[in-house]
Amino acid sequence: MPDPIPPVVDADTLARLQADREVVLADVRWSLDGSEGEATYLAGHLPGAVFVDLATILSGPGAPTDGRHPLPDAARFAAGLGGLGIGEDVTVVAYDQSGGASAGRLVWLLRVLGQPAALLDGGLRAWRGPLEPGAARRLPVTRQVVPWPAARFADADEVARLARDPAAVVVDARAAARYRGEVEPIDPRAGHVPGAVNVPVDDNLAADGRLHDEDALLARWQPTGVFAADEVVAYCGSGVNAALDLLVLEHLGRPGMLYVGSWSGWSADPDRPAATGTEPG
């Protein structure tokens, strides 16, 4: 296994990594409205980057209460990445059209398995070189099936418990209007998990899509209590965007858990309560 790397790297660090080891670039562009994905990848991507599909490789089937993007089982994940030529013996640097709201899912999943992986800070916009059209091909490999580490994931019951625990912090990574329950464009009900605090993923990013500097990130996260908490879990709409919050927390020295079902799974269960407004509730 290659040496570990930070959860976020800039373009200069990527170039140094490529000179030192085998790096696989992963394009994980995706958007809720379908405007980003394989079609935009084929139109132009970082040279040599393979397309990792969020729906078929980074998600699996499940019940409505499992959310819109359930966790793929370990065999599905290994087969999907192996088919793209991404073995466990390479370093992965992933990007999307912005600052990592979709690519963060791949990076976080690889990191919890112990594989060196990082976001390209700023995503596609940070790339200074030419783009390559068409599909990049790598020889398929057989990737070892590694079980997901249970300690890095929380289910709805655990989230409910942690949200009531003063020594824990549950983070809602969605936009503020969705957290407050003012709008809900896709999930069954509006609102948030009672007790959750709101740190929208976009608040981690500057206007150019890069992460804010560490001082600014600390100022944003410090009031939430995550650095003093015994346990931290993050969720979003479907367990995708929240991975970026978790990578930022790891960057700041505070790893956390992911609630994969997230609000889509929670709100699909009529027995789960919902809070609205600006306060955790």
Catalytic residues: 236
Please enumerate in sequence order all residues whose Cβ is within 8 A of that of 81, keeping only pairs 6 or more positions apart, or say none: 52, 57, 87, 143
Q: Residue type for 126, please?
A: A
For residue 277, list its beta bridge partners: none
SS3 content of the chain, % helix, strand, coil (to 5): 30, 15, 55
Per the CB < 8 A criterion, the answer to whether 58 and 52 are in contact is: yes
What counts of helices (H) and strands (E) characterise the chain? 9, 9
Provide the phi-psi class of 245: left if phi over 0, else alpha when psi is between -120 and 50, else beta. Answer: alpha
Please enumerate in sequence order all residues whose Cβ is within 8 A of that of 215, keeping only pairs 6 or more positions apart, or say none: none
Residue 269 CB burial class (10 angstroms; 0-12, 13-18, ≥19): middle
Q: What is the dihedral of CA 206, 50, 234, 172, to 10 degrees?
A: 50
CB atoms within 10 A of CB 28: 30
Measured CA distances, 66 to 21, 181, 251 (Å): 37, 21, 28
